[in-house]
Structure 1
């Protein structure tokens, strides 16, 4: 299944589903209306399933002004617990925003890692970006979504970075797919580490064209598929790879409904999907 939002993000959580990872269909309607945060929107919804089968959901609640993200959970993707606002950057009063929180379940440490992009004006070397658009990636960890570790810097590649997602690609091998958000790039790159929290290598050259963001990754058994929001062309794009060093454009082989925006792919039992349908 594939989480989704539709612009401008007021109507909340949407879903797509697929049986092969290539052809996607919409499930009609919204499954959760956002009620937390300054702007009370839902952008960039990310779902990860815990070992107990519970689905945890985080999302962007505002463009600017919020120092946290939205959170809730469900066992069936239809009935959700009361929404919470998790103020992960409250100890950084100059924080301009909290964007695109992304969930990753670390099986080794039996904890959830949540990474997101924030801009703290004046904190990092300015580069070519305005101070209000000079993002870095931060993280927190939690075992129960009640207590969270203090937010720490996750990735500073020396440029403005947003929309990162962690992928376990081997026994002790992790790949980070990220967006270089500098004006001359605005494309997707990868970095590598031996631990999900890094340290990550210097990012690669871009493997997508410009004006691309919101990557999510799935494994179809033979290769990895990286979906991304090709917002410059108002559609979804995808590449396939076996090693995250060589990439093949498969946009012509996929089908994603129009209007679908920045979400994440996750697995759900067919029984749960059938109950929704």
Structure 2
């Protein structure tokens, strides 16, 4: 049965099993009660310029996460995504440790070609003095390696180990540890691998400057600066600190609700997107949801947090690995094409008085109607690895108020970004999905037979509505 499109409410901004309890949500009651990245900009608080980073022709971006589940911490699923927004299940229960539990898995790809995860080995109620390790050649089939006892005197709990590969290639782990004199007060410690097999580690060193009662510390490096995101267990807010050395001393620069993410947030993980922006993911354990938020100015300001579609409420505490892999979708540039809907196969893009709609266009349509449904594909105005689309009058497809329209290029960087799209694989054979360059996770899609740029809701229907096939000009 074919679904009819239905109207959408106008609410856009202008152009531009039972739930498992959170370990942290019970701490007070129990107590007494990745990788280096390119330089984006200057010092924190100064405006940075996002670097163009869309995948080259013939390649695709792949993001992988290995979260434990809201319903169980006895196993992990593997999910992958091409846009860091829509994560689709690659394998359920992909790894179950031979004993104990698996929580807070952090993933890297090592120089030996294997993927490694390190993880918390016990549930939040139990003493947990070890962190676990497993590896995989394909991200799907995992082999247990060993449990490592973190050598801290009177250790009570070692939680949330996070891999960090420094710019010198060294592999490090940041782990939150508490001792028996106060098992709910955590301090971040640094371990460094002393062999390439990742089986031997340096003595733990507390990160200077962050201090006790901080947990889930995650670090990225930009230029010569280390940027740490860490949860203050008293205030329940994720704080921000910087240092010139991985071990510190760190200076905490932002506290409280500085980024607008709210409280009862934890498990921060960051990754750089294809358009150069930074995305943070965090576990909103207070409402059993998972969120993401983006920054374009070296962490000074952040977009309003959004729930991660599809897996929010299912996935718990993960980190993300980003890779460029072969494949993906390549569109020919410098040629004219028409674009057919992947799920309404008689309907095509058409310029109608400057707005892009999806009417029925066939071989019997008028010459003018066919011409209005024909576009030239060119390299992206904001990123040559992306794509822009031009009509016969020389106007470009862009979004304004999230509506797709055809406008003359005014030469501004805003227009260039509005008119640039990153190609992602569509649902129908040979189809493409076009992700907005400056609104990651937003796709060109049809609704009520109008073309818009809307945020993905993670459903198959949305993926179908945002899939188009480039065909010979009508």
TM score, norm. by length of structure 1:
0.84
Pick the aligned partner of 2:119 from 59, 64, 68: 59
Pick the aligned partner of 1:98 from 133, 144, 158: 158
With 27-36 and 97-106 compared, the bigger mean Cα shift is at: 27-36
Q: How far apart are the structure 1 equivalents of 2:137 and 2:173?
A: 20
Aligned to 1:255: 309
Pick the aligned partner of 2:251 from 167, 183, 201: 201
Q: Deviations over 1:129-169 (max 9, x none)?
A: xx32111011110042122111121245344111111112x
With 50-59 and 134-143 compared, the bigger mean Cα shift is at: 50-59
Q: How far apart are the structure 2 equivalents of 1:116 and 1:11?
A: 20
**Shift of residue 121, structure 1, vs aligned partner:** 4.2
Pick the aligned partner of 1:135 from 167, 172, 186: 186
Pick the aligned partner of 1:76 from 114, 138, 142: 138
Aligned to 2:7: none
2:236 pairs with 1:177? no
Structure 1 unaligned residues grouped into runs of 5+: 123-130, 273-277
Q: How far apart are the structure 1 equivalents of 2:324 and 2:138?
A: 10
**Shift of residue 79, structure 1, vs aligned partner:** 3.0
**Shift of residue 56, structure 1, vs aligned partner:** 1.3
Aligned to 2:173: 114
Q: How far apart are the structure 2 equivalents of 1:240 and 1:7?
A: 24
**Shift of residue 251, structure 1, vs aligned partner:** 0.6
**Shift of residue 239, structure 1, vs aligned partner:** 1.5
**Shift of residue 80, structure 1, vs aligned partner:** 2.7
Q: Deviations over 1:236-276 (max 9, x none)?
A: 11211121121221416x4241311000111246579xxxx
**Shift of residue 205, structure 1, vs aligned partner:** 1.7
Structure 2 unaligned residues grouped into runs of 5+: 1-63, 328-474
CA change 1:265–1:200 in 2 (3 A) is: same
Pick the aligned partner of 1:246 from 301, 305, 308: 301
**Shift of residue 171, structure 1, vs aligned partner:** 1.8
Contact 1:14/1:29 (<8 A) preserved? yes
Contact 1:9/1:41 (<8 A) preserved? no
Contact 2:178/2:187 (<8 A) preserved? yes
**Shift of residue 41, structure 1, vs aligned partner:** 0.5
Q: How far apart are the structure 1 equivalents of 2:82 and 2:118?
A: 24
Aligned to 2:266: 213
Contact 1:157/1:203 (<8 A) preserved? no
| Deviation >3 Å, runs of 4+ | 7-11, 268-272
2:282 pairs with 1:223? no
2:265 pairs with 1:265? no
Contact 1:98/1:118 (<8 A) preserved? yes
SS at match of 2:155: coil
CA change 1:11–1:271 in 2 (3 A) is: farther
Q: How far apart are the structure 1 equivalents of 2:303 and 2:88?
A: 23
SS at match of 2:294: strand
Q: How far apart are the structure 2 equivalents of 1:43 and 1:158?
A: 23
Aligned to 1:165: 218
CA change 1:115–1:157 in 2 (3 A) is: same
Pick the aligned partner of 1:187 from 217, 224, 237: 237
SS at match of 2:190: strand
CA change 1:217–1:87 in 2 (3 A) is: same
2:206 pairs with 1:153? yes
TM score, norm. by length of structure 2:
0.51
Q: How far apart are the structure 2 equivalents of 1:141 and 1:9?
A: 30
CA change 1:51–1:180 in 2 (3 A) is: same
SS at match of 1:240: strand
With 147-156 and 226-235 compared, the bigger mean Cα shift is at: 147-156
2:87 pairs with 1:34? no
CA change 1:256–1:139 in 2 (3 A) is: farther
